Amino acid sequence: MNESAMKISYLDRPRLYYAFMVGGNEVIKDQKYLNKINVFPVPDSDTGINLASTMRAISEGAVPNPSVYKTLHSIADMALSGARGNSGLIFAQFLHGISEEIKNVNRIATSSFGVIVKKAVQYAYKSVVSPVEGTMLTVMKDWAEAVYQQRTKKRDFVDLLTYSLQVTKKSLLETRNKLPVLTKAGVVDAGAKGFVNFLEGITNFIKTGKLKKIPKPTIIWEDKGFHVYKDKDAIEQRYCTEALFIGKCMDLDKLREKIIPFGSSAIVAGSEEKVRIHIHTDHPADLFYRLKDYGTITQLKADDMQKQYEASYERKSH
């Protein structure tokens, strides 16, 4: 009897580690489509790139350990180090929540897995200064709730993940009706779609145990016969600004208070030792100056979303 026909009653370190690798691979494979449907919070066509960057950081830097706890912490740490954009940071903070809630055990049963992922969603929501429903957050929450509700009824991870994935796909389709910008464009939320890609990879690996090689992501723009309406006026602040802070006993709430006045789409993710911020602002230099004493700042970036939008449409016109 092969493993794919067996009941998977627990997740151990090898299953978790390789499931995350396969899940990340599914996101990387779909990055061009995710870029194309990216209209929220701004139409800068980089959700696929941002999520792929996050997944690549995990695949290249996470270290498997005999301990489930240490393996998940390594995955979460690399996700934060490589996270980019709204979706990347939200996903990284979700993984951070899982790593914080998991106990130092060798195996995770469905009953405890449901509790862990439900609590992890709270970390993701808290990281976002102004959470918006109809996005990755909603789909993440609906998936975790489905897992939580069925955690004691479905003792087989194949059954549990297959069922919860179907719930999540329905939640993804509903994002089109929850945000007017998605309704107008006729697409689902790009970050939420990336999360579903991730779950599809995980579910498939748990079912089959087959690990596929993770390719290097290629950034190629293709129309593939359809056009996604993107509103240029949605870009209210010009620069997608991010930074990674390294320090000790850093106060995430105080950091959140400091960056809020500078713009919108603010996210503060991480721990007391490592924090990544994200915000859309017109004044990135002023923001960095104000935060210069908060901790050691690395990985500064301020992407011009106006130019990203214009470059996207120039490519489509040729």
245-256: pLDDT as tens digits: 999 999 999 999
Are 297 and 288 contacting, i.e. CB atoms less than 8 angstroms apart?
yes
Q: Which tens digit of pLDDT belongs to each residue from 86-98? A: 999 999 999 999 9
Give yes or no for residue 180 having a pLDDT over 70: yes
> Is residue 191 predicted with pLDDT exceeding 70?
yes
Determine the number of helices (DSSP H) and then strands (DSSP E) in the chain: 13, 6
136-140, 169-173, 177-181: the lowest-pLDDT one: 177-181
Whose structure tokens read 């794919």? Answer: 4
Q: Which residues contact 116 (CB under 8 A, 6 or more apart)?
A: 98, 101, 102, 108
Compute the average pLDDT of residues 262-291.
93
Q: For residues 298 and 151, which has the higher predicted lDDT (pLDDT)?
A: 151
Question: For residue 246, what are the β-bridge partners?
Answer: 274, 296
Report the alpha-carbon distance of residue 199 to residue 24 in Å, rounded.
9
Q: What is the mean pLDDT of the chain?
A: 88
Residue 214: predicted pLDDT: 52
pLDDT band at residue 125 under the 50/70/90 scheme: very high
**How far apart are the two ends of the chain, measured CA to CA in Å?**
55
C-alpha 242: how far from chain center: 15
Confidence of residue 115 (pLDDT cuts 50, 70, 90): very high
Average pLDDT estimate for 220-231: 48
Contact 272, 33 (CB under 8 A): no
**Band of pLDDT at residue 261, cut at 50, 70 and 90:** very high
**Cα 25–Cα 27–Cα 28 angle in degrees, nearest 5:** 65
pLDDT over threshold 60, residue 215? no
Sheet of 296-304, strands arranged across: 263-270, 274-281, 239-246, 296-304
Mean pLDDT of 19-28: 94
Q: For residue 104, what pLDDT band results from cuts at 50, 70 and 90?
A: confident
Contact partners, residue 34, CB within 8 Å, separation at least 6: 27, 47, 48, 51, 190, 193, 194, 197
CB–CB of 69/225 below 8 Å? no
Pairing of strands 108-109, 274-281: unpaired
CA distance 165 to 234: 31
Lowest mean pLDDT among 56-60, 82-86, 133-137, 228-232: 228-232
Q: Is the pLDDT of residue 234 over 80?
A: no
DSSP three-state, residue 153 = coil
Q: Which domains does the chain have, with CATH numbers?
A: 11-208 (1.25.40.340), 236-316 (3.30.70.980)
Residue with tokens 């600004």: 241
Look at 109-118, 155-164, 222-231 and tell me which has the smallest mean pLDDT.
222-231
Which has more confidence, 196 or 238? 196
Tell me what pLDDT residue 304 has.
82
Average pLDDT, stretch 216-231?
A: 47
Whole-angstrom distance, CA of residue 296 vs CA of residue 9: 44
**Smallest Cα–Cα separation from 95: which of 118, 115, 61, 72?**
72
Closest CA to 27 of 163, 155, 190: 190
The yes-or-no verdict on residue 221 having pLDDT over 70 is no
Q: What is the mean pLDDT of residues 154-170?
A: 97
Q: How far is CA 170 from the centre of its chain?
A: 19
Rounded to whole angstroms, how far apart are CA atoms 19 and 199?
A: 9
